[in-house]
Amino acid sequence: MSVSPLEYRYGRKEVKDIFSEESKLRYMLKVEEKLAQAQAEFNIIPKEAFLDIQKAVDSNAVKVERVKEIENEIKHDVMAIVKALSEKCNEGQKYVHFGVTSNDIIDTATALQIRDFYSYFMEDLLHLQKSMANLVDEHRLTVMLGRTHGQHASPVTFGLKMAVYLAEVNRHIERAVQAKHRVIAGKIMGPVGTGASLGDAALELQDRVMEVLGISSEVASSQIVNRDRYVELHSLLNGVVTSLEKFATEIRNLQRPEIDEVSEYFDSSKQVGSSSMPSKVNPINSENVVSLARLVRSFILPEYEAAVTWHERDLTNSASERFSIPYACILTDHVLVKMAKIFEGLVVKKENMLRNLKADDFVLSERFVSELTLSGVPRQDAHEMVREASMKAYANKTNLMKSLEDMGILAKLSKEKVDAIKNPLSFVGRSDRICTTVLEQAESIRKISLGAA
């Protein structure tokens, strides 16, 4: 029986596999194996014992079903793994799990899961970056209405809008690169963090275990890896999904029929928009991104609570983290992939953008204030003239140009200047240059992130 929608609806198989029950067991057994390897290298256990443990682990002889049988009897999940592994060993049996505690294995295995997830996470961010960069480049001069407070404002370009979003993603990639060494760390320093059972070489032994596993060592730990690392991971994921929600919300708004400037791809040959209204073309993918982004953000709350434990450790973090870390990672990957596909298939309706822009000449008010000021009218006087003309136009149900003409304000400008003002593309400032700058930044960050992978 499936209960979680992750099992049948959301998430990519390859990412979900990282956090599956079987994979978690394999990660934990790998930690036990590499622990034994380092202990043999430091002459703490015989080399034959390590090779025996390694053989048992690499043979996949330890099965989830057997671990569950033992756990049902002894009521301890990690000790069940230790016993199941010991059953498959000969020489190594008496050295399995020597000198360590449960969370040495659990937290180090979690670090391995996060490490493997991180590869997908970085790929996702770079894929999203590329899909957005294409839109920035293609539409750097596609003029459209700017909107502030939900109202029409001065013109922008769709490329600039996307450049603003792309700059945000660029920073997320930088953060992800910078945070990687902090959020991924393991430890094997025993039940109170002293490494006493491992002897004088405990710190060097820990570093060696993490080296062969390909992750960092915790600098100073209690029984567990410090949870500020997990809080930072959740914060990083939350920042990303918050941006995705913003992007998706903009698409949903611009797809509204009264605006109709962009649209998600819709397969009109077979896709169904509504079970009751067959005419509907809904932005369901963007809505899905919004919904799941809100859920991902919620997982940081239990991690904040999990970061507060008594003394060297209690068990209050254990249950919640079985949900929060896998769910946040799987769903973040899911919405990143979906958002990139939305952008790749986005229908940009240039004609409608221009239509909406030309239908409302009140968006020229900023331009008129600027040109009047440049022609010699004091700026505050120019602002008041255009404000008064706008209010009269609203009251008389006419347009701004007519109101400015009736009030004699247009006469203060040359005909050539008035004609130039009517061209919205002439008042998008340095939009094109900004697009170029953000695209160059994206390429630079992309190279740095690939080099850091």
Average pLDDT over residues 198-213: 97
Judge whether residue 424 has pLDDT over 90.
no
Cα dihedral 296, 297, 303, 308 in deg (nearest 10): -170
- Taking only the tens place, the pLDDT of each residue in 334-359 is 999 999 999 999 999 999 999 999 99
* Residues 263-274: tens digit of each pLDDT: 999 877 888 887
Contact 346, 133 (CB under 8 A): no
Task: Give 388's pLDDT tier (boundaries 50, 70, 90).
Answer: very high
Q: Indicate the average pLDDT of the chain.
A: 95
Q: Exactly one of 119, 274, 291, 375 is catalytic; which is it?
A: 274
Radius of gyration over every alpha carbon of the chain, rounded to an integer in angstroms: 30
- Position 378 scores a pLDDT of 95
- pLDDT reported for residue 271: 83
For residues 151-165, give the mean pLDDT: 97
Distance between CA atoms of residues 89 and 96, nearest Å:
9
152 as an active site residue: the answer is no
Q: Whats the size of the chain, residue-wise?
A: 453
Distance CA 213, CA 385 (A): 71
Q: Is CATH 1.20.200.10 correct for 102-356?
A: yes
Local structure of 279: helix, strand or coil: coil
Phi, psi of 143, rounded to the nearest 5 degrees: -80, 145
Distance separating alpha carbons of residues 245 and 310, to the nearest angstrom:
36
> SS3 helix, strand, coil % of the chain, rounded to 5?
65, 5, 30
Which member of 2, 59, 149, 311 is catalytic? 149
What letter does residue 256 receive in the DSSP assignment?
S
At residue 453 the predicted structure's pLDDT band, cuts being 50, 70 and 90, is low
Q: What is the pLDDT of residue 281?
A: 87
Under the banding of pLDDT at 50, 70 and 90, the label for residue 279 is: confident
Would you call 324 a catalytic residue per the annotation?
no
What pLDDT does 60 receive?
95
CB within 8 A of 337, min separation 6: which ones? 12, 124, 127
What CATH code is assigned to 5-95?
1.10.275.10
